[in-house]
Amino acid sequence: MRKTVSFTKDATNLFFHILTACNLSCRHCYINPPQHGSNTLPIETIEEWLALFASRSKKSNIIFLGGEPTMHPELARAVKKARALGYASITIDTNGYLFHDILEKVTPEEVDALSFSLDGATAETNDPIRGVGSWEMCVAGIKQSVAKGFSTSLIYTVSGANLHELDQMPDLLERLGVNHFFIQVLGIRGNSAKEEAEEDGLMRVTRDNWVEAVPKVAEEAARRGIKVTWPKVFLDEGEAFECAGHVADNLFLFPNGRVYRCPLCEDFPVHAMTIEEGALKAAPRINETDLFELAIAEGCVMNRIIQPGNIVYKENGTPAWRVACCLLKEEITP
């Protein structure tokens, strides 16, 4: 069944970057240390910050991120603390290197999903984007995760450099035993926002290419029993626009204490909140919250500001389509 996942304020999704260090240097990495910090949070701080958000809404979901979160020697303790605090679901996003024997220290009962990032069906496509040897390591990590009984997902960030292998993914996912496929769109932030990214072929695919390729691959993966989630990116004629900053509670927390509501704002010091001395405080205005208020014909205001090339105008000056919120997702459940 295919549906657009509606936004809700009844659930909080906390994307918690517990460190920004990573063993890889992906060409599209969005981590921006001047904006996000370069510290590794002590476990005591992680526990304190987890407690701050645990009962924020009826249902709080936590996604541990980095950098590479498994490089944090106390990730297992953080997972157990999140469980004890009553988080409704716990996910670890990893590049697959699985440091500190993390799979030996947590159980499938404690972690709802391990989510691996892979950007090609083959090493030939993945490794130039994510680093030499990373395809093999990631696939080995996925196999271990599946063998240990963890619910295992895969994130594929589509760009001009790997669109051609997207249709090979359902077969690979089925063979590996992955049960949830996240197709992601390349975000123009961090490394991808730099000029040389486009010269390297690491650019966003066009609307036509996205609409042509992604739903077809999603349907094929679903036919094989795999759940698929992907961002809507472009709204269809007549579809309502909503900004998640207004109507949902997604929080992107970085080790310097900044809390953003919109991923597209993360390259700028416009975060909505900060954690200072153990308390969550509103950041001084003007901040991203002020941007969410702006109603423009193009749809998402941040897309209009940072990636205007994605918007095409008709002769009368109105946009040919509206850009969806980057957090608006489509989903097919088999």
Interface residue list for ligand SF4 (CB under 6 A):
22, 24-26, 29, 31, 66-68, 95, 243-245, 262, 264, 291-292, 300-303, 325-327
DSSP per residue, 246-281 = HH-EEEEE-TTSEEES-GGGTTTT--SEEEETTEEE
Q: Quick one: 69 or 170, whose CB is closer to ligand SF4?
A: 69
Pairing of strands 249-253, 279-282: unpaired
Q: Quick one: 68 or 249, whose CB is closer to ligand SF4?
A: 68
CB of 254 to ligand SF4, least distance (A): 12
DSSP per residue, 185-200 = EPPSSGGGGSHHHHHT
Q: Quick one: 129 or 163, whose CB is closer to ligand SF4?
A: 129
Query: Position of tokens 């709080």?
Result: 60
CB of 239 to ligand SF4, least distance (A): 13
Provide the H-helix boundaries in the chain.
Answer: 33-36, 43-53, 75-84, 102-105, 123-130, 134-147, 169-176, 195-199, 207-223, 244-247, 288-292, 301-306
CB of 67 to ligand SF4, least distance (A): 5
Q: Quick one: 121 or 272, whose CB is closer to ligand SF4?
A: 272
∠ CA(214), CA(295), CA(330), 5° rounding?
20
C-alpha to C-alpha distance for 146 and 306, rounded to whole angstroms: 39
End-to-end CA gap in the chain? 7
User: What are phi and psi for residue 307, nearest 5 degrees?
Assistant: -140, 60
CB of 105 to ligand SF4, least distance (A): 20
CB of 113 to ligand SF4, least distance (A): 17
Pairing of strands 89-94, 59-65: parallel
Q: Quick one: 54 or 323, whose CB is closer to ligand SF4?
A: 323
CB of 117 to ligand SF4, least distance (A): 6
CB of 17 to ligand SF4, least distance (A): 9
Question: What letter does residue 153 receive in the DSSP assignment?
Answer: E
CA proximity to 135, closest of 115, 158, 117:
117
**Contact present, 177 and 152 (Cβ < 8 Å):** yes
Question: What letter does residue 22 receive in the DSSP assignment?
Answer: -
Q: Quick one: 26 or 253, whose CB is closer to ligand SF4?
A: 26
Q: Quick one: 103 or 188, whose CB is closer to ligand SF4?
A: 188
CB of 21 to ligand SF4, least distance (A): 9
Q: Quick one: 165 or 170, whose CB is closer to ligand SF4?
A: 165
